[in-house]
Structure 1
Amino acid sequence: MSLLKGMFKSRDKPQNRVGSSFSFLFGGTTAGKTVNERTAMQTTAVYACVRILAEAVAGLPLHVYRYRSDGGKERIPFHPLYHLLHDEPNPEMTSFVFRETLMSHLLLWGNAYAQVVRNGRGQAIALYPLLPSKMDVSRASNGELVYKYYRDVEESSNNPKGGYVTLRKDEVLHIPGLGFDGLIGYSPIAMAKNAIGISLATEEYGAAFFANGANPGGVLEHPGVIKDIQRVKDSWNSAYQGSGNAHKVAVLEEGMKFQAIGIPPEQAQFLETRKFQINEIARIFRVPPHMIGDLEKSSFSNIEQQSLEFVKYTLDPWVVRWEQALQQSLLLPSEKSSLFIKFNVDGLLRGDYQSRMTGYATGIQNGYYSVNDVRSLEDLNMLSDEDGGNLHFVNGNMVKLADVGAAYQKNTGGGDV
């Protein structure tokens, strides 16, 4: 413990910033729009990316395994953690909803937290999500991480005024994203707030443009002096402003003229900007554009390869981050050498039907697949031993290179080859 005191100072408090003078926080952007986790989700591209990644992680099979003495592994469905992770982490949520919620927190705030409820033996018996916006991570005097969670009045039955609740490190499941100190992740939304702000601004501009009947604003010119300017302005707006008054014929009196002054959307490259921002946001989350509805650069020949790359380069890092955080926080110290927690992504890596059957046939012919191995991968019922379901076969026409000469002599009865 004295070593911890010597290593960690008060300045080593985990924080989501580079230094005291430069902080990556939600807020205003150069596009004039306020970006935070809630306004960002109003952008269709952000919503689609978060939903795809959250549902992908939530839908993967999640199991607890034990290392076997022969080097293999086996699933242990009767372990207490198996029910929490695979079925329901608490009485109010399914495993899918729990993981989907935490993954959305991780994508928006850069951190995901859950309270770990343990029994007298230290085993986790329930997991409850905690909002990252209410969590503050600091260090105790001994160097240990301390989590302080703010509870609102509605959440604090014992304290009518609300307040902070202090949680020890073993009482919190913390999954951090990419961060500066390895302890606290920073939000992708905050880091890319200008790109998202442009998307929000273009959406608002488009909505206002079409609300005005798809016509830009303009100026009414009068050759003389108008005594009541506001009356003329209100009269014009009530008669011709808005999508409901589109295509009406305007009647101008006393030599007045209408001069449009707005920039037409084609000159402002409105559609091109919106399309670019979709790719920009997809780049933030490393999601292939075709998965959020942009099929411009996708085809039948490359879309399957893009989907496989999504699993390998986008989903796999998140899966490893989840697995290691679950093992670190939920497994007991005595279990960490013999147990591990793993997502199964094999189903997402499967090719088309013909490719799978060709691969299975090769595996059976070369002895590393049995019929039941293949049926298990295809989620089919197992065959009995009497039917040869667990037998392994090897192609008998293949021999070792060193035995080729001996086999030739035996078959021909000859001497030297």
Structure 2
Amino acid sequence: MLRALLGRKSGPQVIDSPEKLAQAIGVGYESASGQRVTTTSALQQLVVFSCVRVLAESIGMLPCRLVKQDGRVRLPATGHRLYPLLTMAPNGFMTAQEFWELLVACLCLRGNFFAYKVNALGNVGELLPINPDIVTPRLKDDWTVEYAVDFKSGRRVLTQDEIWHVRLFTLDGLNGLNPIAYARQQLGLGQAMDTHAAKLFTNGAVTSGVLRTEQELTDEAFDRLKTEFQGEHMGVANAYKPMILEMGLDWKPISLSAVDTQFIESKKLTESQLCGLFRVPPHMVANMEKMTLNNTEQMGMNFVNYSLVPIMTRIEHRIQVGLLNEKDRLNHYAKFNAGALMRGDLKGRYASYGQGIQWGILSPNDCRELEDENPREGGDIYLTPMNMTTNPEAADDADKTAS
């Protein structure tokens, strides 16, 4: 009674999982299904993990180059300090691919990505990623942004010159919306379904049918029936083998009930909605239920145009604004090469190269460069179709008439 009045617990709370830790410190989002949704619990759902991995790895494998534009001429800015950071290694412990994958994963799971900019002689010399959970952006009265970062050594307030911030879709122009927080109802429902299915197979019994008889079997008859039935009628090799039953035995097959069927359909609907959250086509996460040979190619194009391109343009613009100084951003910009996604289609690449050479858009050496091949002699010539040339005589007559 005294412990109850004084508010003391009868025993210490044991925290032995990330979910219990999140519940103890108040991290996560409550859902109507009773499940607490956190980043860790969301990633434990296979469809969420697959969607985030597909987006992260698809952008991570694309080359990102810094380009300098001089009039109409655009060339790789290999001499700029930022070029090796974007193409090779942004810091001493990560490759460029790992860095882009982490950036996209943070956008998908938290809506924001932060990196500390190590400046050297007015240029960014290194990018160190920061856990978004310890960063709090704030817009000051003079319309400048500051970031409160809770390091292990204590809280520090940093400026925009020290933090590189990439945000997802935003409503206030500063904080990216967290997809996990806004989709917590569907994610909580998915967690509840996974828990229910796990307990069903742990505590329940699932079988394809039963043998039934009104007679009482002796222990010897039961053991003989069990041995013969398992040896003669179980396994793929014994499929569709006729049964020989005795002593009034009757085989009754068991199929899925309406409740089980509805559970499966509800789980499929939840997984489809989670694919829509990340804008990943279902076939990219191994769901080929409604896919055909006719729509697979179109869905792949939609994945590039409507799933990857919005993320790539966000990163490209933030590189130009957040990593380049005011002078360089006027004639420098970053560009992901989405054409690398076509490298698996040899026939499609060579067909497009042929059309590009035929119409004078590309030279043979341009195509060889795209294929990582050395240039050949005489390969820098751009062809012009004979039926597409101008008429010089008509131009001369026009000049005489004007004079």
Q: TM-score range by the shorter chain?
A: 0.7 to 0.9
Q: Distance in 1 between matches of 2:287 and 2:309?
A: 23
Q: 1:46 aligned to 2:54?
A: no
Could you say which residue in structure 2 is the equivalent of 1:59? 61
Could you say which residue in structure 2 is the equivalent of 1:72? 73
Q: 1:173 aligned to 2:164?
A: yes
Q: What amino acid is aligned across from residue 175 of structure 1 in structure 2?
A: V
Q: 1:102 aligned to 2:111?
A: no
Distance 1:379 1:29, change over 3 A: same
Q: How does 1:6-405 map to 2 (within 5 A)?
A: 26-69=28-71, 71-119=72-120, 121-140=121-140, 142-152=142-152, 156=153, 163-214=154-205, 266-267=259-260, 269-349=262-342, 352-384=345-377, 388-398=378-388
Q: Distance in 1 between matches of 2:118 and 2:365?
A: 39
- Alignment check: 8 A CA contact 2:342 2:349 kept: no
Deviation at residue 380 of structure 1 after TM alignment: 2.2
Q: Distance in 1 between matches of 2:170 and 2:200?
A: 40
Range 374-383 or range 308-317, more displaced: 374-383
TM-score with structure 2 setting the length: 0.75
List gaps (5 residues or longer) in structure 2: 1-26, 208-255, 395-403
Q: Distance in 1 between matches of 2:320 and 2:202?
A: 53
The C-alpha deviation readout for 1:321-354, integer Å capped at 9, x for no partner, is 0011111111011111111111111122568433
- Alignment check: 8 A CA contact 2:38 2:180 kept: yes
The C-alpha deviation readout for 1:363-414, integer Å capped at 9, x for no partner, is 2222222111111222222112xxx21111223355558989xxxxxxxxxx
The C-alpha deviation readout for 1:51-94, integer Å capped at 9, x for no partner, is 1111122111011110023x020002221101111111111111
Q: What amino acid is aligned across from residue 77 of structure 1 in structure 2?
A: T
- Among the aligned pairs, what percent are the same residue? 34
Q: Distance in 1 between matches of 2:116 and 2:287?
A: 38
Deviation at residue 101 of structure 1 after TM alignment: 1.2
Q: Distance in 1 between matches of 2:163 and 2:97?
A: 19
Distance 1:394 1:91, change over 3 A: same
More helix by share: 2
Q: Distance in 1 between matches of 2:101 and 2:182?
A: 22
Q: What amino acid is aligned across from residue 52 of structure 2 in structure 1?
A: V
Distance 1:354 1:141, change over 3 A: closer
The C-alpha deviation readout for 1:221-258, integer Å capped at 9, x for no partner, is xxxxxxxxxxxxxxxxxxxxxxxxxxxxxxxxxxxxxx
Deviation at residue 207 of structure 1 after TM alignment: 0.4
Q: Distance in 1 between matches of 2:310 and 2:338?
A: 12
Q: Distance in 2 between matches of 1:148 and 1:402?
A: 67
- Alignment check: 8 A CA contact 1:308 1:349 kept: no
Could you say which residue in structure 1 is the equivalent of 2:248? none
- Alignment check: 8 A CA contact 1:177 1:186 kept: yes
- Alignment check: 8 A CA contact 2:139 2:146 kept: yes
Deviation >6 Å, runs of 4+: 401-404
Distance 1:379 1:393, change over 3 A: same
The C-alpha deviation readout for 1:94-125, integer Å capped at 9, x for no partner, is 11111211211111111111111101x22111
List gaps (5 residues or longer) in structure 1: 1-24, 157-162, 217-262, 405-417
Q: What amino acid is aligned across from residue 160 of structure 2 in structure 1?
A: K
Q: Distance in 1 between matches of 2:258 and 2:133?
A: 38
Distance 1:334 1:207, change over 3 A: same
Aligned residue for 1:170, secondary structure, equals coil
What value does the CA root-mean-square deviation take over the aligned residues?
A: 2.4
Distance 1:143 1:396, change over 3 A: closer
Could you say which residue in structure 2 is the equivalent of 1:410? none
Deviation at residue 300 of structure 1 after TM alignment: 1.9
Could you say which residue in structure 1 is the equivalent of 2:240? none
